[in-house]
Amino acid sequence: MKLRYVVIAGAGTALAVVLGFQASWETTPPPASLATASVWQPSLLQKPATSFQPLATFANADNDTAPKRPELPTRPVFNAALLETKPPTQVWSGTLSAGETLDALISTAGLSASDRAEVALALGAEYDLRKLKPGYDVEVELSLSGSLKRVMLSVEAGVQIEAVFADEIATRKIIPAPDLVLNSADTTVKSSIFATLASAGVPARFAVDLSEMLGGTVDFRRDLKGGERLQLMWREATLDGQRLGQPRLSFAALTIEDTLYEIVWPVDDSGNATIFVDGGLLRVFAQPVQGARLSSVYGNRRHPVFGDVRMHTGVDFAAPRGTPVYATAPGRISYIGRRSGYGRVVEIAHGSDTQTRYAHLSAVPKGLAIGDRVAAGDKIGRVGATGTATGPNLHYEVRVNGHPTDPMSNDRLAKAASKADTNTGVLKRLQASRAKFSVLQDQNVTASTQERL
């Protein structure tokens, strides 16, 4: 066990003394009573580095199974005046070791059995204590007379559970605010987009995003000869240097001979990616699932369930069960129900000859009915694994005159979606993305120049 006694001197002096006891519990028992431990001095509650995020923020009525990260809270400003008014306390901290219970650990802080039971009850209100792991930190704050004031449990991913013991016991979960970092790269296409990204230190998964966006416009195999300029900007969320989730593209520019293709991705999960050619709007790419991984493309493939080579009649987006599915173009609901291997499906008719099919759905919104008009981006279901599916995914299919076609090259749908989006905002977003990219690249150049010096 790792024990640390942190002694923080009284108000205003901001002096911290860490007596780094790294002794094990077995060989060096801690003081029987913290109140009598002579090295202890009054300390003050001070946690300015984290911000408070009530759990309620996660309750997203519209999206129960795929919660969005809550809005980033601003870090509270350290308020010296508040400190002056707080009575002095003593703080004990320890780290769970393998096989150790929370009760055993906090008993070393000198807590009575009834206090320990209250701590377990309070923390248990916000955290399943059966999930406790070795290495988790516990901090116990006591008044100078030894009465329990506050317990802070630090668990995975920087999450903390705080229980405050006053007239009433209050527990809350504290989610740390991640840092959002914007990155950029200016590179030259080599043998393939994938190889280009990998060698430039850019997440190679972006190759899929690029082919998804430009697949219907550019034939990567035929049009890319090498030497084309590829510029990318993407964002990553990090916490304590650790990456959270997947990086997301926000802007891409690909120059093929004299033609400039640019893509602007939406900042959040709402809105559509937009493709521009030579600065003009080419099309709006309405994705049926936002932020999902394209797990299988259209064409012949080895069937994941049956094992033989079969024609794959659509594209698959792997996403967690319950992720919302959106209409990719305006139209009318033409079918809701089951279709053998497809499971639960919704179909939309776009004009007289084109249809989109959304398969393996786990749910369809209540009230959605055949004949209903939908716009691009309207929610028409949730990702599931009904029918023949190895896991939750959306099978998205575009049918023209009853025959499946490659959804990535269906211009008719793209045009319908483009019309649905107003032209006004998108050019501004392109300008803003270009400007942001230039600023980032200038910073990169400055940084690398300084490294060389």
Query: Which residues lie closer than 8 Å to 238 by C-beta, 6 or more apart?
Result: 178, 179, 181, 244
What is the smallest separation between the CB atom of 177 and Zn ion, expressed in angstroms?
38
Cβ atoms within 10 Å, residue 320: 13
303 vs 332, beta carbon nearer Zn ion = 303
* Residue 350 or 395 with smaller CB distance to Zn ion: 395
**Residue 316 contacts Zn ion per CB under 5 A:** yes
Q: Which two tokens stand for residue 29?
A: 């028992």
Q: Supply the minimum distance, in Å, between the C-beta of residue 288 and Zn ion.
A: 12
CB of 59 to Zn ion, least distance (A): 32
Q: Is 344 in the site for Zn ion (CB under 5 A)?
A: no
Amino acid in position 228: E
CB of 316 to Zn ion, least distance (A): 4
Sequence-ordered strand ranges (E) for 100-136: none
Quick one: 316 or 347, whose CB is closer to Zn ion? 316
Total residues contacting Zn ion by CB under 5 A comes to 2
For residue 37, the tally of other CB atoms under 10 A from its CB is 16
165 or 317: CB nearest Zn ion = 317
Site for Zn ion in 379-418 (CB under 5 A): 395
Span interacting with Zn ion, options 9-17, 41-49, 312-320, 408-416, rule CB under 5 A: 312-320
- Tokens linked to 270: 């709402």
Structural contact between residues 294 and 249, judged by C-beta atoms closer than 8 angstroms: no
- Which tokens belong to 350? 């776009």
CB of 416 to Zn ion, least distance (A): 22
What are the φ and ψ backbone dihedral angles of 355, each rounded to 5 degrees? -135, 145
Q: Which residue is nearest to Zn ion (CB)?
A: 395
Residue 39 or residue 311: which is nearer to Zn ion going by CB? 311
Over 235-269, what HEC string results? Answer: EEEEECCEEEEEEEEEEEEEEECCEEEEEECCCCC
Decide if residue 421 touches Zn ion (CB under 5 A): no
> Which residue, 116 or 312, has its beta carbon nearer to Zn ion?
312
Instruction: Kindly state the smallest distance separating residue 222's Cβ from Zn ion, in Å.
Output: 26
- Quick one: CA torsion of 71, 75, 81, 83, rounded to 10 degrees? 100
Q: Which residues lie near Zn ion (CB under 5 A)?
A: 316, 395
